[in-house]
Amino acid sequence: MRFYYRNCLIANALALVVNASPVKRDNGLTVLKTTTTPDGFHSAATGWNSFGLQANNAVNPNWKYDQDHVIQQCDVLADTLHMDGGYCSLDSGWSTNNGDDYARLLYDTTIFDLPTLASHLHSKSLNLGVYVLPGAFCTDGNKTIYGTNIKLNSTFSGNNDGFLRCDFDFQKPGVQEWHNSVVNLFAQWGVDLIKLDFVTPGSPDNGGNLPANNSGSVIAYHNAIKQASRPMRLDISWKLERNNTFYDIWKANADTMRTDQDINNSGNTTFVAWEKVQRAIDNYRQYIVLQIPKNLPLSIYPDMDNMYVGNKQNLTGVTDAQRQTIATHWIGAAANRITGSDLTQLDSYGTELLTSPQALSAANFTAQYPMQPRNPGSGSTSAQQLQAWVAGPDSTGVALAVLANYGPDQGQGGFNTSLSGKQTVSISMQDLGLKVGTYQVQDIWQNISMGSKNSSLSTVLDEGESVFYRLSPA
């Protein structure tokens, strides 16, 4: 709890900057800004999520989804990565397939004791996250909702989603009361984050029978969090509809929204493939480009899925340069920096990517000013293999820039070009949308000065490689 309020105090000091409207500059750049989220947060979540090891158990066959093994992972967040305020987030499988006497969700006592887990995490300055699906267990239909005389089955819409749950008719009495009772129980356990998956419109059925629109579940969970006894973050998934009708619901009720599908190599011996990273980056591009013409502050952070950067190539599945590119783009987008890596097998480079002071400073910047694409040669926003991005500038003229060579499009990158090997990536300050002048350039990952630049940035990058610069007016 103390970390939540500490973060709020820090963020309030930035309120004059954060809450200002985006600025339309003469050179065509609309400076995007992010304001407070619906549940009072000022940055995306950081931490670890269990799904990578659950879905890619071959990466570590000795790992099991239970309390001891989760604690083993999350203690690394505190003791090695010193990630104060980070979330230790349980994905699907922590709960039983039926509720308690009031149809509230129950943790599976054969593998978890959530109050004890929460207490352990809180003692280490960490937070607990849990995964839920819309709806309630169909088998609980004859139970009475806590604090009411309403039978649960009277609130159902008649749709069974195929995942043991019946969907709600959000117009019926008792629906909000059920959500309140579940979230209040979570608060008693010590939960700090709720990941609500399979939200529609957007989520693929994935073998289920999802309704066309269960956005009411997002509203209901948000309202339940508002009345709960402890603050919680609400993250919603996956690849959600971005049109104004539903985006307005997401941004008014959730703190983070998934912009893509799952990124991991489910069932494989490595966590991620570069093709899916290309896809995740392009889905963020598509999302952020829609926000530019609105000229409004953003009140929700993107979720590009777990950030797999902690382990060496034979476990992660991508090169060190590509690991850095992943970290750069997740930071630049101000996306959730929740890793799915095996933290018991961190290498030194993975530790650096997760703890670099310069990168963390950049993350604080992009939490206010998320990056947007600026094509070399035009300043446009389309998908390109040789791409540039800009975050800011802030009121002092400081901006962050990313130059990238994504390598040949592997099928989902959106740019459909196949330039092989090293390429020169250059962009003018004008195409970045920055004022003409001299800038001191700092390489964020290398923590070295690149000297002063007054007209353009240029570098030679191999496939999957990128650079991350801080630009300060001289």
**For the segment 62-101, what is each residue's pLDDT rounded down to a tens digit?**
999 999 999 999 999 999 999 999 999 999 999 999 999 9
> What is the pLDDT confidence band of residue 23, given thresholds at 50, 70 and 90?
low
Has 262 been annotated as catalytic? Answer: yes
pLDDT higher than threshold 70 for residue 255: yes
| 3 has a pLDDT exceeding 80 | no
Q: What is the pLDDT of residue 27?
A: 67
Categorize the per-residue pLDDT at 205 as very low, low, confident or very high, splitting at 50, 70 and 90: confident
Q: Are 86 and 5 in contact (CB under 8 A)?
A: no
Q: Look at residue 22 in the predicted model and tell me its pLDDT.
A: 54
- What is the predicted pLDDT for the residue at 138? 98
pLDDT at 367 over 90: yes
Domains of the chain: 2-25+35-368 (3.20.20.70), 386-473 (2.60.40.1180)
> Is the pLDDT score of 214 beyond 70?
yes
The per-residue pLDDT for 206 is 84
Mean pLDDT of the chain: 94
Which entry of 167, 262, 282, 409 is annotated as an active-site residue? Answer: 262
Query: Rounded to two decimals, what is the model's pTM?
Result: 0.94
Q: Which of 192, 197, 235, 342 is catalytic?
A: 197
Q: Does residue 10 register a pLDDT over 80?
A: no
